[in-house]
Structure 1
């Protein structure tokens, strides 16, 4: 593996290099990326997006250890496309264990709609799909409810992205549903409620609920009518000016919930995806304690700059070994790579960054 150091203003990030790459197996010949990570002691379970010809995706499985040795890698998908709502792709898994159940959230892609979906498991081997869990609203319905929102507090980019879709004729299609990706669960309940992050362009929203059956159409309609109450982070700094998305399941620390996310900016060479970090209140994660005003790390290596989609680092999971925080990410939509950072150093820096009123 190739090693390099990237020094930010304060934080040393060691890029450990590529962990997994495409193979000759047809199901993963075009890309191996954006992995859900579950750490079990020394073992790191990796649920990666495997891309075959035609941009069809399934979830593959591998296992490594602290030293990034490959212990196991399945030669066929662990989770396949089964239903119409995911007939083009089962993508970008994130996984947590809450009580005795593993919850794997992913993007279900049917060739038109990209929406959040859920599968559960007791053993990380057999998964039962629960279906779509994000708003079952088309764009006209979305706009109707968004117009009821507090316009004085709402970032105008929420309408900007709607208007972009309108310009290319997408919002007229009744069956084109609201794009909602990057579905990430907190690894435990807070006040007996599940806490979930999701992404309606351009920000990251937070939602709380007691039971999965609560996520009805009317629940989501009310959520959007009051969207300003649910926005956790909106674009603020230059490196994330286009849009954000939740990345890794938040990490519980003594200082708060550490949240690793991605931010996107448009440059003269196209969009660039950066890895970013924020710190949330441990008891009320809607409160942002700190937020790095610069990327934690950015595309700099050849395998991050050139791939299926260029200039992408896309964090989706972590593992912690003493103070070494391993961040697993998709590199240029082709490989899975790992970066290492000191957890304490990162927390210390986040605590210095006071929350801006506009975040």
Structure 2
């Protein structure tokens, strides 16, 4: 087992209007000795924006903005901008987030050259109904009943004149091009999928997505395998490049007598072919155990969303019980060794 240290709560909600209900699920990017955190800030009525804080080292808050850095501006995000992740590719920062309009939750993107001014690119995942998804992917066979269970949106009330679309969240870019291509993870429940064949963002057209769904089963990177992720998996932190492969810290969800339990999990993907999984931990990397992880806006949640590497110590920032930002740390080399004891036989 990997030794994981819970470092405690890094950021808590305040009385400020934009974050008086909770702060959670931060994106992180390290530059020098500083870590920039872009966290989901929730106000009354469950409206989300993105707040900003800069850390001195991995744990000490140096400064924190008293206004959000990214807010809702367009109809497709009218109810909130949620759960950001961030990477730097070439000279641009890619900040992805879930755009929520009160009905639909879809992956969107903003770009920046300085972490201050952001240019929104809009929704970049497919905008299709569940019925279109079934038609395109031919996913009405018995093996795909799981998609019906998780994506039929039976609990979403349709507003007059508006479509209920297939939810596509946890949009996360790899931090560099792979074989010259932009690659990103996304999640249509209950699995994590990957897009590996985009030269430029403008290629993500409705036609592209229609063709993508034809071979949808082949795009799955991580499907539920162990008890702690038996309900579904979802993207967590941006992939970390190591000599052994892309280290992926993701979240797994198990339905228990206490309700859903969200844990941090670890996997390793091939450097040149990230659609290929090399190894996976058969147990949670860490799970809700402390009082502030067990009780909150949503109980029993450790939701990893950002990392920072200082020496050989990997710091993992996560949303705790959907109310506060926590941090856990571990030795990255030891984690990689443990993963290599749990390689996957593709035969």
Normalised by the size of structure 1, how large is the TM-score? 0.93
User: Structure 2 matches for 1:1-359, cutoff 5 A?
Assistant: 10-147=1-138, 156-162=145-151, 165-166=153-154, 175-208=163-196, 209-355=198-344
1:6 is matched with which residue? none
Mapped contact 1:278–1:350 kept (Cα < 8 A): yes
Q: Secondary structure at the match of 2:339?
A: helix
Q: Deviations over 1:193-212 (max 9, x none)?
A: 11100000100000021111
State the number of aligned residues. 346
| Contact 2:151-2:166 at 8 Å conserved across structures | no
SS at match of 1:224: helix
**Is the contact made by 2:36 and 2:55 (CA closer than 8 Å) also made in structure 1?**
yes
**Deviation string, structure 1 residues 18-58 (Cα, Å, up to 9, x no partner):** 00000011101111100010110110000000000000000
> CA separation in 1, counterparts of 2:29 and 2:145?
37
Deviating above 3 A after TM superposition, structure 1's stretches of 4 or more consecutive aligned residues are 165-170
Deviations 1:257-298 (A, max 9, x none): 000000001000100001000001111111111000110000
Q: Matches of 1:157 and 1:294 in 2, distance apart?
A: 23
Contact 1:146 1:224 in 2 (8 A): yes
Shift of 1:162: 3.8
Give me the whole-angstrom Cα distance separating, in 2, the residues matched to 1:23 and 1:357: 49
Aligned-pair distance for 1:160? 3.1
> Is the 8 Å Cα contact of residues 138 and 174 (structure 1) preserved in structure 2?
no
Q: Which runs of 5+ in 1 are unaligned?
A: 1-9
**8 A Cα contact 1:260 1:278, kept in partner:** yes
Asked if the contact 2:86–2:238 (Cα under 8 Å) also holds between the matched residues in 1, the reply is: yes
Mapped to 2, the partners of 1:67 and 1:211 lie a distance apart of: 33
Cα 1:69–1:174 change in 2 (3 A) is closer
Q: Distance in 2 between matches of 1:103 and 1:24?
A: 30
Q: CA deviation at 1:155?
A: 5.0
Q: Secondary structure at the match of 2:292?
A: helix
| Cα distance between partner residues in 2 of 1:223 and 1:93 | 24
C-alpha distance in structure 2 between counterparts of 1:69 and 1:273, whole Å: 26
Query: Please, which moves more after superposition, 235-244 or 66-75?
Result: 66-75
Contact 2:9 2:325 in 1 (8 A): yes
Name the Cα RMSD after superposition: 1.9
CA distance 1:235–1:155, shift in 2 (3 Å): farther
Kept in 1: contact 2:264–2:284 (CA 8 A): yes
Aligned residue for 2:4, secondary structure, equals: strand
CA contact (8 A) 1:148 1:225 kept: no
Kindly indicate whether the alpha-carbon contact (under 8 Å) linking 2:26 and 2:317 is maintained by their aligned counterparts in 1. Answer: yes
Gap regions ≥5 residues in structure 2: none
Tell whether the 8 Å contact from 2:103 to 2:157 is kept in structure 1 after alignment.
no
Post-superposition shift, 1:304?
0.4
Higher alpha-carbon deviation: 45-54 or 174-183: 174-183
**Structure 1 residues 137, 340: closer, same or farther in 2, change over 3 A?**
same
Shift in CA distance, 67/327, structure 1 to aligned 2, threshold 3 Å? closer
Native 8 Å contact 1:329 1:337 kept in 2: yes
Alpha-carbon spacing, 1:56–1:169, altered in 2? closer, same or farther (3 Å)? closer
